[in-house]
Amino acid sequence: MIDGVLLLDKPVGPSSQRVLGHVKHLLGAKKAGHAGTLDPMASGLLPILLGEATKYAAQGLDADKTYLAEIHLGIRTTTGDREGDVLEESSVPPLSHQQVEAVLVTFLGQSTQVPPMYSAIKKDGRALYDYARKGEHVERAPRTITIHEIDLISMQHPVIAIRVACGKGTYIRTLAEDIGRALGSPAHLQSLRRIGVGTLKPQDIVPLESIERAEQRERLEFLKPVDWLIRDWPEVVLSADDTVRFTHGQVIRCSGQSAVEHCRVRSDAGSFLGTARIDASGLLHPQRVRSLNS
């Protein structure tokens, strides 16, 4: 079994699923998944979860994301990005840095966003992009999103580059269109690069080319531990006897531990065992237990 987390730098072009299959084949893994899809036109950090690490995918999906995005003003497309057909085109009036920054700051905090038609959200069992490709329109309910940070990086008329830190469920394509609208112009997303997922940073990521060029043994050296995505959670260390109880799903008394909804559990020998919660009475309840065979 191949277990671990690969912090992949996805290239522009292939889909996240295609890249996942390619990496799975290169590493010879039997089980793999990814934490947070990137569109084919997007690049950047795509956590690949292998073997037992797939049990902890939700931590990647729920984490905040950080992006570098280029917004092209003056053109609106069918998909909200550069790959769509042009729906609207107009001239863009001169804009100052101060004008753009004044608009960007209005997007900070919680707001609502209508998901794009070209998305994987399901409606009656079908992805919205299936309807969109057939020219069908589906009403979508607004969703609450959170923008933690949004900064203007540069302006080169008619393109503005921004850095965005946001909560899960935020569509940057839709954000680009909304920013354009607030600036009085149609707009679409010209480029997108994800540079952060939770506490993961750009310096952690591995280019796909590096994995392709490496020998099989070297490829495994790129892997982070199974619990890498939750390494900042509180940790509980169990004795040998309690380790056996935990791996059998039994509740364990943890003296002196504060109540927490999620924690990492490790044996006193250093092995990661899984995740748990601790209730107010100091009882540790197993949530996800790592397979004894991994």
Give catalytic residues, as residue numbers: 39
Decide: helix, strand or coil at residue 104.
Answer: helix
**Cβ contacts of residue 169 below 8 Å, gap of 6+?**
143, 145
Judge residue 276's burial from the number of C-beta atoms within 10 Å of its C-beta, 0-12 exposed, 13-18 middle, 19 or more buried.
buried
Question: How far is Cα 23 from Cα 50, in angstroms, rounded to an integer?
Answer: 10
Question: How far is Cα 77 from Cα 75, in angstroms, rounded to an integer?
Answer: 7
Judge residue 135's burial from the number of C-beta atoms within 10 Å of its C-beta, 0-12 exposed, 13-18 middle, 19 or more buried.
exposed
Q: Please say whether the beta carbons of 284 and 243 come within 8 A.
A: no
Q: Please say whether the beta carbons of 7 and 204 come within 8 A.
A: yes
Question: How far is Cα 6 from Cα 219, in angstroms, rounded to an integer?
Answer: 10
Decide: helix, strand or coil at residue 274.
Answer: strand
Question: How far is Cα 50 from Cα 3, in angstroms, rounded to an integer?
Answer: 5
Q: Please say whether the beta carbons of 196 and 36 come within 8 A.
A: no
Query: Most distant CA pair in the chain: distance in Å?
Result: 71
